[in-house]
């Protein structure tokens, strides 16, 4: 049994930036540093930052007046920003710049007099933050079936945006359904699904044909990690999502010859290496590093943190 290691995998530029913001804020201001929502959706990362002095909260009413609060990589609504300003909180924004791009698109679309449809998963913090960019409200669609149910004011004044971590194939099907029903609908100039989501899904598609099992390293609440598992399953390959090496069951490997391993954009490489170690103890042999799209994206930090040590 051999291991096929997908490339690229693991941390994206937005996740690296968000984690570094928390670490630098702790170094500059000292603990506690409050973080609204998990800064990224990975248990290992969150536990590590918590041990260093980060306090994770779901709402700003859990943050003391005058404290430092970090907005997670998923972004927040305008109402949250206004509340933070009203209360005099020191705000550091770890919103992924590619999510901010979607927020700005929503604002421009509304300024142009268009109703906006968001393609995304209900309840996901990125979706809540993006839909909170407009006081006029937005429509949410999660599937092709939802498109049929849309009730809009003017089908000639419609636009759409997407959550950045969706399945590329699923999102394309929904966009196609929107365009069939509303031929005048307009979208963003550049796709909202981020480069890292696209690259990691492409890597799994390329790897799946060579595997009889795929293991995705990522937490259950990670949207992009779940999409990687779905991509493999949609290619007819048995696939599992694991938070860590200890979740791998020996029976998964019975009769398997080629095990593919990848990781969601919020999962650190240390967890991938632990998974490889676990597979080796269960009989895996050589590790094959597959080729993939190189990534060299780097996002700048907030100015107040650029000179702070981690």
Alpha helix stretches (DSSP H) within the chain:
13-29, 43-52, 78-86, 97-111, 125-131, 144-149, 168-181, 195-208, 223-234, 269-281
Preceding omega of 8 cis (within 30 degrees of 0): yes
144-166 tens-digit pLDDT: 999 999 999 999 999 999 999 99
Distance CA 56, CA 112 (A): 37
Span 212-222, average pLDDT? 97
**3 state DSSP class of 240:** strand
Q: Which domains does the chain have, with CATH numbers?
A: 2-11+195-289 (3.40.1010.20), 13-96+299-305 (3.40.50.11270), 98-181 (3.40.1010.20)
285-305 tens-digit pLDDT: 999 999 999 999 999 999 999
Span 244-253, average pLDDT? 98
187 and 210 Cβ atoms separated by less than 8 Å: no
Position 310 confidence tier, pLDDT thresholds 50, 70, 90: low
Distance CA 19, CA 40 (A): 8
Alpha helix stretches (DSSP H) within 53-92:
78-86
141 bridge partner residues = 119
Helix or strand run (H / E) with residue 127:
helix 125-131
Both structure tokens of 222: 């990670």
Residues noted as catalytic = 126
Helix or strand run (H / E) with residue 110:
helix 97-111
Position 137 confidence tier, pLDDT thresholds 50, 70, 90: confident
pLDDT in the model for residue 136: 74
Instruction: Give the DSSP letter of residue 57.
Output: E
39 and 22 Cβ atoms separated by less than 8 Å: yes
68 and 90 Cβ atoms separated by less than 8 Å: yes
Reference 117, options 80, 168, 154, 81; nearest CA is 154
Reference 74, options 158, 139, 14; nearest CA is 14
66-115 tens-digit pLDDT: 999 999 999 999 999 999 999 999 999 999 999 999 999 999 999 999 99
287 bridge partner residues = 3
14 and 212 Cβ atoms separated by less than 8 Å: no
Distance CA 83, CA 78 (A): 9
């Amino acid at each position: 049994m051999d291991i096929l290691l997908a490339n690229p995998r693991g941390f994206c530029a937005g996740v690296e930036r968000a984690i570094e913001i928390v670490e630098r804020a702790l170094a500059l201001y000292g603990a506690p540093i409050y973080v609204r929502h998990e800064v990224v959706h990975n248990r290992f990362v969150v536990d590590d930052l918590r041990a260093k002095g980060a306090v994770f909260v779901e709402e700003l009413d859990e943050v003391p007046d005058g404290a430092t609060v970090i907005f997670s990589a998923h972004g927040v609504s305008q109402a949250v920003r206004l509340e933070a300003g009203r209360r005099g909180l020191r705000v550091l924004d770890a919103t992924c710049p590619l999510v901010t791009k979607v927020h700005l698109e929503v604002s421009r679309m509304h300024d142009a007099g268009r109703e906006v449809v968001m393609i995304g998963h209900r309840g996901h913090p990125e979706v809540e933050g993006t839909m909170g960019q407009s006081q006029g409200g937005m429509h949410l669609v999660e599937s092709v079936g939802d498109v049929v149910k849309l009730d809009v004011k003017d089908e000639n004044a419609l636009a759409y945006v997407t959550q950045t971590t969706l399945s590329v194939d699923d999102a394309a099907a929904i966009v196609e359904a929107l365009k069939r029903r509303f031929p005048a609908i307009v979208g963003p100039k550049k796709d909202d699904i981020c480069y890292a989501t696209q690259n990691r899904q492409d890597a799994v598609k390329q790897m799946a044909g060579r595997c009889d099992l795929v293991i995705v390293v990522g937490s259950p609440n990670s949207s992009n990690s779940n999409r990687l598992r779905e991509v493999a399953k949609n290619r007819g390959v048995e696939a599992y999502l694991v938070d860590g090496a200890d979740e791998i069951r020996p029976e998964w490997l019975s009769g398997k010859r080629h095990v593919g391993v990848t990781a969601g954009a919020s999962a650190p490489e240390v967890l991938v290496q632990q998974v490889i170690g676990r597979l080796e103890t269960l009989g895996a042999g050589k590790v094959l590093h597959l080729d993939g799209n190189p990534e060299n994206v780097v996002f700048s930090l907030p100015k107040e943190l650029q000179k702070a040590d981690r």
